[in-house]
Amino acid sequence: MVDMEAVGLSAGNASVVGEDAGREVWSLAAVGAVVIALSTLVWMYGELQRVRRPARGPVRWPVVGCLLEMRRNFGRLNDWFLSYFSEDVKTYKLELPFPNRQTVINTVDPVNVEYILTNIQIYGKGKAVQIRLGDFLGTGFFTADGNVWRRHRKIASTEFSTRKLREHSNTVFREDAIRLANALNRAMVADKPVEFQNLAMRMTLDSICKVAFGVDLGGLSPSLPDVPFTTAFDTAQGLLPQRLVNPVYRIQRALNIGVERIFRNAVREVNLFAKDVINKRRLEIAAAHNVGKEFKGEDLLSKFMANKEGAEDHYNDVELRDVVVDFLVAGRDTTGVTLAWFMYEICCHPEIADKVYQEGVEVLGKHTDYESMAEKLTHDNLGRMQYLHAALSECLRLHPPVPRDGKTVLADDVLPDGTVVKKGNIVQYVPYSMARMPFLWGSDAQELKPERWLKDGVFQSVSPFKFTTFQAGPRICLGRDSAYLQLKVTLALIIHFFTFQLVPGQEITYTSSLVMPMKNGVKVTMSPRQ
């Protein structure tokens, strides 16, 4: 028999199920409509932004600002910045949603650059930069403002101007250039390629440690030993810029997880290296004092440690640690990456290397051994090598070691081009983009042409607010002449004895870091120059 009650219940249940299904369909439809509506509004907002601000930087979306686009392009950050500049757009804004809706103003206008770099009371490093970079760079040259910065600057500017330091640096640079040439020769004899950026970084690390700290790491010894601290140093530098596109980096830092844990461990290794350097120097100073002598170290660290506790210019160990890290960034990385980019360019343009060689023969004579060549690499002789200086400047223009430099706006202001900036904004001038602007360098701006720096064979300087590789104004790089010196010594020597060829199949690109190293280095083979 058929149970009519059961049938009735089943029919009722079917009715309820049907109603539930109908409601579910309508709910899904409602959700879909909301999603479509929101997507349409977001799209319309983007289109409105483009219409209202044609080509004026990336679209600043609600809530997330420019974060998503910046994250997508982080691996090519310098070219992403470049893509929004033109002759009509020399300044634009982008926004990041953290920590407090940060507005960043990028500019390639030399008038703006001059205004920013000469008004350091309004455009300094500020808390935003110090918070992001301070746990690696501390309160040294790169992050300090006001009296702290002036204190560092006073000692460093005095020491960089001394003839004794210049002579000591030249001696170190020549010795290390010879070591580099020997490393290249060993690889050539063994018929093996070398990764040149690695060798260049080893050399510049050895050099800055001798000049700045009086320490010889021996990174270019024949066995090319591991220097574990350098891995940690590179890791820390590489992770810092990622904080720009990591909205939770402060949480990760507080919890010591993710990339922030890797970063903290790397910084710990760097700190141990700095501590070891400082402690060894303190022991040497104490040993000299114990026998009634004055310690006379020629290195820069000794000058920062010269004043006793209680003196106005006394530096404690934390401050000395910051000095060590800043000198490493300034002396090792910037020069090392420039040598790597120059190597790449002379492999692509061997005629430039040939001209450097011919100029070297004319100024220094022909040499058959590294030592006799190095003896000729004096300040005066290198000053006569005008083409080499021009070629280096052109490489530094196209491949600036520091591709962008930001300042914090310390008070509401208006830039010369009319851009309104608010306290707390970040203003960046962008050397990488400036080098590629036709309105600054002509229609051939993206070509490597040393001749653009020469007139009748004599080097012609340009405004430092146009060629911004070494900054300008009160914060102009104190190590500029020292950097040029090491670059000239090294390149004049190795180009005199070798020709270089790129190993085929390499990807040559940069890493988005504080500086602009090659992502995978540059592999080359060598032949004796005939």
pLDDT tens, position by position, 46-95: 545 544 444 478 988 888 889 889 989 999 999 999 999 999 999 999 98
Q: Is residue 92 part of a domain?
A: no
518 SS3 class: strand
Report which residue type is found at 64. V
90 SS3 class: coil
Token pair 């170190």: residue:
172
Interatomic CA distance for residues 321 and 387, integer angstroms: 39
Interatomic CA distance for residues 66 and 74, integer angstroms: 12
The pLDDT, as a whole number, for residue 285 is 85
Interatomic CA distance for residues 244 and 259, integer angstroms: 13
Q: Compute the mean pLDDT over every residue in the chain, rounded to the nearest whole number.
A: 87
Token pair 């800043």: residue:
326
- pLDDT band of 226, cuts 50, 70, 90: confident
Interatomic CA distance for residues 115 and 129, integer angstroms: 20
Q: Is residue 55 part of a domain?
A: no
Report which residue type is found at 446. Q
Q: Is residue 52 part of a domain?
A: no
Range of the domain at 268: 117-528
* 173 within 8 A of 486, measured Cβ to Cβ: yes
In sequence order, the β-bridge partners of residue 407 are: 427
The pLDDT, as a whole number, for residue 155 is 80
Q: Is residue 383 part of a domain?
A: yes
Q: Is the pLDDT of residue 494 over 90?
A: yes
The pLDDT, as a whole number, for residue 14 is 41
Interatomic CA distance for residues 187 and 190, integer angstroms: 5
Count of structural domains within the chain: 1
Give the domain CATH number at 201. Answer: 1.10.630.10
Q: What pTM does this model have?
A: 0.86
pLDDT per residue over 94-145, tens digit each? Answer: 988 765 678 999 999 999 999 999 999 999 988 877 888 888 888 887 888 8
* 120 within 8 A of 126, measured Cβ to Cβ: no
207-222: b (≥16 Cβ within 10 Å) or e: bbbbbbbbbebebbee
- When pLDDT is averaged across residues 293-317 and rounded to a whole number, the result is 78
Q: Is residue 48 part of a domain?
A: no
Q: Is residue 47 part of a domain?
A: no
Interatomic CA distance for residues 251 and 118, integer angstroms: 36
* 116 within 8 A of 421, measured Cβ to Cβ: no
Residues written for the chain: 530
Residue 462: C-alpha distances to residues 393, 395, 452, 454, 467 (Å) = 10, 15, 11, 11, 7
Comparing 7-11, 145-149, 266-270, the range with the smallest average pLDDT is 7-11
- Residues at the binding site are 477
- Token readout for 359 is 């100029």
Residue 495: C-alpha distances to residues 487, 489, 490 (Å) = 12, 10, 8
Q: Is the pLDDT of residue 237 over 70?
A: yes
In this prediction, what percent of the chain has a pLDDT beyond 70? Answer: 88
Q: Is residue 56 part of a domain?
A: no
- Token readout for 114 is 């001059």
Reported as type and span, the H/E element at residue 427 is: strand 426-429
Q: Is residue 62 part of a domain?
A: no
- Residues at the binding site for heme are 477
* 264 within 8 A of 319, measured Cβ to Cβ: no
Residue 370: C-alpha distances to residues 141, 198, 498 (Å) = 36, 21, 11
